[in-house]
Chain A
Amino acid sequence: MLLEIENLDVHYGRIQALHGISLSVGEGEIVALIGANGAGKSTTMRAISGLRRPSTGRITFGGEDITKMRPDRRVVAGICQAPEGRGIFSGMTVQENLFMGAYTRKRGAQLNADLDHVYMLFPRLKERRRQPGGTLSGGEQQMLAIGRALMSRPKLLLLDEPSMGLAPMLIAQIFQIILEIRDQGTTILLVEQNAQQALSRADRAYVMETGSITREGTGADLLVDPAVRDAYLGVA
């Protein structure tokens, strides 16, 4: 397993946000984490990228214990997150944002090739590369966040709500790109409220409720699981 989480507890002050979470992501997989608002999905992401220290539990990445590692070290180790919503640098241009993604890497031909690759995945970003990030539309900002994360050449890409606030057509497009990224060898853990899309694209998935994982299985299995259908897919 590339990423393994065992019995993770996270507290915000006296409030416990995660209750003994355990999950794993294998190399080359797309794993989805679905659940309602406030279920603890984003907190899990923050714990993996190092923005939030767990109170107990263990996180291992590629066999190495990273539970206490600083966030910037985790980027070097190969974990990169595309944060939800407006997690881009609004005062920097699109291109500067992308170069921020490659912050831990040396500039050079390889980096320029990666930049071209991101522009190929998201032609819109190329058109707008000199524009400040803050002037982009919601969908474009989402693309920028994903593209920026790719620039660090992560082994594991964390996507927090890639479909948030996007039109249905754009959502399909973003998920298409996520599949492409996986096919090029990047493992993906994604958090989604759009359970339909997430489950139909993911190899495996976990369902979270109020800080605990209540169900897990392959994406296809969970799609037909009556409880999941009932709660998250809007079909009776």
Chain B
Amino acid sequence: MTTLKERYYAVADGVRKAEAGRQKWAQGLRGRWQSIPKPVRLLAGLAGVVLLFALPNIAIPGIPFRTDEIPNGIGFSFVLSTIAIYVLVAVGLNVVVGMAGLLDLGYIGFYAVGAYTVAIFGSPDSIVATKYPWLICVPIAIALTMVSGVILGTPTLRLRGDYLAIVTLGFGEIIRLVAVNLRVTNGQRGIPSVPAPDEAHVDWNVFGWFRIKFDFDLDIFTPMDARPYYWLALVLIIVVILAVRSMERSRVGRSWLAIREDEDAASIMGVESFKFKLWAFAIGAAIGGLSGALFATRNVFVNSGNFNLLLSVMFVAAIVLGGQGNILGVVLGTVIVFYLPERFRFLSTKRELVFGLALIVIMVLRPQGLWPSRRRARELQDRKLEAKEAAAGA
């Protein structure tokens, strides 16, 4: 008769062995992937991208991955476009949390600022009624979120760790409450008729010198079909990922890495930690603003109910689950966190429970995330060791 404890140890042992085997396998996989000649790898990546673009039109009999193939399911391309927008959010949040190591729980605030900016400046129904075309609203949204990142960051980035998390949490809520109460954001009723990317209705007289007149709507982006929004989001994701990766490999990226690992050590090596943390905040905020703008555009409507605390927490969960610091890991985490609840819609209310359990199991088995950056995994191990030493020393 085995006791419960023995059985527990047997299971834990099995998990450890499986993990060791998986590590070996993953290493082999990485090695094999890197031994493939570069043009082939590039081609494979390209094929993957093409597949992603074709995804809304693909269905495989027998494998019901489409969310509209299950009972109570909703449109697959709508789900895809939502996930794509959230992936963009996660890539931006990853700059702040994963790369610079700043725990930001109020990231949703930037997302909201981006969404509202496009609605306020673009919609004919906002009280500002400037009716700027989408292509002008988006840069304004990015600029404004960047500014709000700097405004939030300047006083708060002197705080560290948990304190920063608390203050940013407050920021997210402040933005939401302001949106509920301000006239320009129109509270719960929100702002309808957010402009589509392919329309412009402009009749400007520039200083009385010349007249700019546009009045068109290509009707590619319509509420009937979410695919164009998904494709647009994909393009933006690719551009943003390439930009963030090149940043990661630059001096800026090394400074973030050093700050994340040990801020004191970084500053006595000559890293201007405050400046680089502020940059991380501003860049992260800009990406958040861009994704918020995209979200408002796809929904055609913004109200304060879109930006609750839970969503902010889900973004952080997605990043931690996927593997902080590794862009592709973060993308994977986001897809899982926002796809699974849709896929399990047939379980109706029980799906939240299943989803929560799945998250817990994954985090117990892989605390470093599903696909972490190797550095991050290393740091985590080192911190564990340090804690153990501290405990032994005390």
Contact = CB atoms under 8 A, between A and B. Distances in A.
Interface of A: 49-51, 70-72, 75-76, 80-81, 83, 86-92, 100-101, 103-104, 132, 134-135, 148, 152
Nearest to A79: B268
A51 B381 contact: no
B366 interface: no
Given A132-B378, A134-B382, A92 B268 contact: no
B270 A103 contact: yes
A91 B257 contact: yes
Nearest to A81: B268
A91 B267 contact: no
Given A72-B272, A103-B271, A83 B265 contact: yes
A92 B257 contact: yes
A92 B256 CA distance: 12
Given A83-B264, A100-B258, A90 B379 contact: yes
B367 to A, nearest CB: 16
A92 B373 CA distance: 12
13 contacts: A51-B264, A81-B268, A83-B265, A89-B258, A91-B261, A91-B378, A100-B266, A104-B270, A132-B378, A134-B379, A135-B378, A152-B269, A152-B270
A88 B270 contact: no
A80 B268 contact: yes
Given A51-B264, A83-B264, A90 B270 contact: no
Nearest to A75: B270
A101 B267 CA distance: 10
Contacts of B379: 90-91, 134
A100 B257 CA distance: 10
A70 B266 CA distance: 13
Given A134-B378, A134-B381, 6 more contacts: A50-B268, A51-B264, A72-B267, A92-B258, A104-B270, A152-B269
Interface residues of B, number: 25
Given A100-B254, A132-B378, A134-B382, A89 B270 contact: no
A92 to B, nearest CB: 7
Interface in B368-391: 374-376, 378-379, 381-382, 385-386
Given A92-B257, A134-B378, A50 B267 contact: yes
Contact of B265 (A70, A76, A87, A91): A87
A71 B267 contact: yes
> Which of A81, A90, A101, A135 has the most chain B CB atoms inside 10 A of its CB?
A90
A144 to B, nearest CB: 11
B254 A90 contact: no
Given A72-B271, A104-B270, A88 B378 contact: no
A91 B101 CA distance: 13
B128 to A, nearest CB: 41
A111 to B, nearest CB: 14
The 8 closest A-B pairs by CB, nearest first: A91-B375, A75-B270, A104-B270, A134-B382, A90-B382, A71-B267, A91-B378, A91-B379
Contact of B270 (A51, A72, A86, A91): A72
Contact of B269 (A70, A90, A101, A132): A101
B382 A71 contact: no
B386 A86 contact: yes
A88 B381 contact: no
B6 interface: no
A75 B269 contact: yes
B262 interface: yes
Interface string B342-380: 000000000000000000000000000000001110110
